[in-house]
């Protein structure tokens, strides 16, 4: 099995970058929507707030998954680099 450590590092960076982009877009959307919903009252407001909580919860879960995947990929890459160095050392 061959590992391309630099490419794996790039994947870790891409995961982190996509997460940052996602959060930026969500923040931008909240900024745009905020003035629109500020004046809502009654059932429409309650319905929106309920959906917004669901959206926020889903976004939080997605962020947690992306963080976990990014960490796992990065740690796996570091572990394999260490293992490869140890194996090289056995034959030096």
Domain of 49 in residue numbering reads as: 5-90
Contacts 24+ apart (CB under 8 A), 72-76: 73/8, 73/11, 73/12, 73/15, 74/9, 74/12, 76/8
pLDDT higher than threshold 90 for residue 3: no
pLDDT category, 1, cuts 50, 70, 90? Answer: confident
CATH number for the domain including 36?
1.10.287.1060
Give mean pLDDT, residues 58-87: 97
pLDDT in tens, 8-38: 999 999 999 999 999 999 999 999 999 989 8
pLDDT in tens, 48-67: 999 999 999 999 999 999 99
Structural domains counted in the chain: 1
């Amino acid at each position: 099995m061959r590992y391309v450590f630099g490419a794996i590092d790039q994947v870790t960076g891409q995961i982190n970058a996509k997460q940052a982009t996602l959060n930026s877009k969500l923040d931008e959307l909240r900024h745009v929507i905020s003035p629109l919903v500020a004046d809502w009252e009654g059932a429409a407001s309650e319905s929106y707030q309920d959906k917004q909580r669901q959206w926020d919860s889903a976004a939080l879960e997605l962020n947690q998954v992306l963080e976990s995947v990014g960490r796992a990929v990065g740690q796996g890459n570091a572990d394999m680099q260490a293992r490869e160095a140890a194996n090289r050392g056995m034959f030096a």
